[in-house]
Amino acid sequence: MRVLLATASTYGSTKEIADAVSEELRAAAHHVTMHSAEHAGSLEYYDAVVLGSAVYIGRVLTPGRQFAARLAKEFAPKPVWVFASGLKNVTPYPLEAPFTTPKEPPYYAGRYTTFGGFVERDKLSLAERSLIGFVGASQHDERDFDLIRAWAQAVAEEMGALEAAPAPEAAPAPEM
């Protein structure tokens, strides 16, 4: 499949998750183009989209939300997979439901997978550091790349199955 992998990432740790996802999709022979969600351009060329966004102050980043809204409007009914990265409410079993669809905006329904994220404190402003301390977020790199790669392999398989599925037959012409 021709896949757009779009990311919204402030400090780059979500982008690194997306890099691992793209490696797995490519290993399964999908053609992956990576873009920031903000500069993704036209969606016409793609058969599927994977959107990954960091969560800040309880919400998917604005470019991630805006892009998800764009997908619902411009890309449905083509398939979309969404993941978030954050330090709270990490999805315990991400392999159980890797599929999301733009028909139910994933940023409202919370049906997306949230992977553990990472914050490099040295990169943060003083205000951000105290905010992180306030919410009691982990100070460690919580990204589990084996799990992320397993999720990406499951997504790649679902893409492969969709690709292999026969196109729905055209309805028979009405008799005259």
**Residues interacting with ligand FMN, by CB under 6 A?**
9-14, 54-58, 85-89, 117-119, 124, 128, 131-132, 135, 137
Return the number of the residue (36 or 153) whose C-beta is nearest ligand FMN: 36
In whole angstroms, the minimum distance from the beta carbon of 47 to ligand FMN comes to 26
Which residue from 14, 11, 5, 10 is spatially nearest to 86, judged by alpha carbons? Answer: 14
Task: List CB contacts of 119: < 8 A, sequence separation 6 or more.
Answer: 11, 13, 87, 132, 137, 139
**Minimum CB distance to ligand FMN smaller for 91 or for 101:** 91
23: Cα separation from own chain's centroid: 14
d(CA 53, CA 56): 10
Tell me the residue nearest to ligand FMN as measured from the CB: 117
Provide, rounded to whole angstroms, the least separation between the CB of residue 58 and ligand FMN. 4
Q: Look at the alpha carbons of 149, 93, 100, 115 in this order and tell me if their dihedral is positive or negative.
A: negative
120, amino acid identity:
E
Pick between residue 128 and residue 144 the one whose CB is nearest to ligand FMN. 128
Give the nearest distance from C-beta 66 to ligand FMN in angstroms. Answer: 16
Q: In which region does residue 8 sit, left (phi positive, over 0), alpha (psi from -120 to 50) or beta (all else)?
A: beta
Between 58 and 174, name the residue whose CB sits nearer to ligand FMN: 58
Of 78 and 138, which CB lies nearer to ligand FMN in the complex structure?
Answer: 138
With contact defined as beta carbons under 8 Å apart, do 68 and 25 qualify? no
Smallest distance from ligand FMN to CB 44, Å: 27
Residue number, 54 or 68, with CB nearest to ligand FMN: 54
Q: Min. distance of Cβ 82 from ligand FMN in angstroms?
A: 15
Per the DSSP assignment, residues forming a β-bridge with 114 are 84
CB of 42 to ligand FMN, least distance (A): 25
